Amino acid sequence: MKKGKKLYEGKAKIVYASSEKNLVIQHFKDDATAFNNKKKSVIDGKGILNNRISEHILTYLSQVGIKNHLVKRLNMREQLIKRVEIIPIEFVVRNIATGSLTNRLGIEEGAVLDSTLIEYCLKDDKLGDPLISKEHIYTFKWATRREIEKIDRQLLRINDFLVGLFRGIGIKLVDFKVEFGRYKNNSKNEILLADEISPDTCRLWDMNTEKKLDKDRFRKNLGNLIQAYQEVAKRLGILHEQSNVRPLRFPKPKAVKIKNK
Ligand code: UDP
């Protein structure tokens, strides 16, 4: 698949054109940002891990009927994906209170929610991705009622699936953010799960120790972010104990002199 020109560069990913009109190439960078771009860093190997973890999760989701943009992973940092028009809303799904929910509403940190909570934020960095209601979405036509009803149903299915997946490997899925896009296929409009699902976009706590295995390690200066992401990948079975996220380099063989006896 030939890589074309850069179409869009975001905080953690770059999108390139491909040789097919309806497909694009998504490249995972090592850049980490938080607090609306106020905190920035480059963390070696993060993009490689997110590419693998997101591929793994989206592949599972498509197997349980959640249509998404992933076509296939191309290499360590890139995926071939369907070209969608992103709906300008960040869909946040919460099982346990933390982060902006506790800051905004004073809900006790770590409180287990009685039922899954869905929140909508406008995808606009200049405005700081403000929380919005469904009425805002309909009034300003960011999405239709039919689209939001469909997405809400999918969010609950995605959450149920992911809670089970992570519980099986000793991790609590605290919350996560996803995005959806409109895909035009033979004049038919389809809603597809898009973007990524990775420790950058989820909060993942170890079941026993509550150790954070996600981007909060960067937000809260806890250190060892790569080790935490590797831990998630290992538990998901996509990274073996001894694997290293850096490309393997083999030392040059030393010249050996063979003496003629
Ligand atoms: N999240 C994200 N991108 C954002 C904002 C939030 O992926 O721009 C994720 C975040 O990692 C967490 C969930 O959405 O898993 C809920 O985040 P929250 O609203 O608590 O915001 P934060 O505390 O990150 O500002």
Nearest-atom number in ligand 1 for the CA of 214 is: 11
Rounded to an integer, what distance in angstroms lies between the CA atom of residue 36 and that of residue 124?
10
What's the pLDDT score for residue 188? Answer: 85
Question: Please, which residues have CB within 8 angstroms of residue 193's CB and are 6 or more apart in sequence?
Answer: 58, 61, 66, 67, 68, 69, 154, 158, 178, 179, 180
CA atoms within a 13 Å half-sphere pointing along the CA-CB vector of 10: 16
pLDDT in tens, the chain (261 residues): 889 999 999 999 999 999 999 999 999 999 999 998 999 999 999 999 999 999 999 999 999 999 999 999 999 999 999 999 999 999 999 999 999 999 999 999 999 999 999 999 999 999 999 999 999 999 999 999 999 999 999 999 999 999 999 999 999 999 999 999 999 988 888 999 999 999 999 999 999 999 999 999 999 999 999 999 999 999 999 987 554 555 444 455 555 555 554
Q: Which residue's CA is the closest to the ligand 1 atom numbered 21?
A: 100
Contact between 89 and 120 (Cβ < 8 Å):
yes
Tell me the whole-structure pTM to 2 decimals: 0.91
Rounded to an integer, what distance in angstroms lies between the CA atom of residue 180 and that of residue 86?
6
Residue with the two structure tokens 């490309």: 247
Residue 250 Cα, ligand 1 centroid: separation in angstroms? 40
What's the pLDDT score for residue 250? Answer: 46
Question: Please, which residues have CB within 8 angstroms of residue 178's CB and are 6 or more apart in sequence?
Answer: 90, 91, 93, 155, 158, 193, 195, 197, 201
DSSP state, residue 126: G
Can you list the domains of the chain with their CATH numbers? 88-224 (3.30.470.20)
Pocket of ligand 1 (CB under 6 A): 90, 92, 99-101, 129, 175-177, 201-203, 215
Among 57, 129, 175, 216, the mutation site with the greatest number of ligand 1 atoms within 8 A of its Cβ is 175
Residue 91 Cα, ligand 1 centroid: separation in angstroms? 10
What's the pLDDT score for residue 248? Answer: 44
Nearest-atom number in ligand 1 for the CA of 129 is: 8
